[in-house]
Amino acid sequence: GENVEQHPSTLSVQEGDSAVIKCTYSDSASNYFPWYKQELGKRPQLIIDIRSNVGEKKDQRIAVTLNKTAKHFSLHITETQPEDSAVYFCAASSSSTGRRALTFGSGTRLQVQP
């Protein structure tokens, strides 16, 4: 089955700096890669996703890049703000297997220092 590795486990940045979180996946059939943000005690919220037919996607201060050959994808947050502090999860799924359920990384705790 799919295995998703996520790094780093914790990340501390100064307000205004950029943050980058990286994930690798094992199943070459995976074709959907979402990123979720989870605040303490709350549900995960989808912040951006990318499908395997594109290499990059941006939404304001957030961008995701995908390298299918290397089987890794990254989340980039620019001009970080204190409200960006949360745990971020990457995930992967494959529509070809019929399962469609997400396999998650272990999470990155991002702390933005004012």
Partner 1 sequence: DGGITQSPKYLFRKEGQNVTLSCEQNLNHDAMYWYRQDPGQGLRLIYYSQIVNDFQKGDIAEGYSVSREKKESFPLTVTSAQKNPTAFYLCASSDMGRETQYFGPGTRLLVL
Q: Contact positions toward partner 1, by CB under 8 A? A: 1, 4, 6, 32, 34, 36, 42-46, 49, 89, 93, 95, 98-107
ω before 8 within 30° of 0 (cis)?
Answer: yes
3 vs 105: CA distance, rounded Å: 8
| Residues whose CB is less than 8 angstroms from the CB of residue 30 and which lie 6 or more positions away in sequence, other chains included | 2, 52, 92, 93, 94
CB of residue 61 vs partner 1: minimum separation in angstroms? 21
Minimum CB distance to partner 1, residue 47 (Å): 12
> Which residue lies nearer to partner 1 by CB, 4 or 112?
4
81/95 with CB nearer partner 1 = 95
**Which amino acid is it at 60?**
Q
- Residue 79 CB, shortest distance to partner 1, in Å, is 26
Q: What is the DSSP string of 5-27?
A: EEE-SEEEEETTS-EEEEEEES-
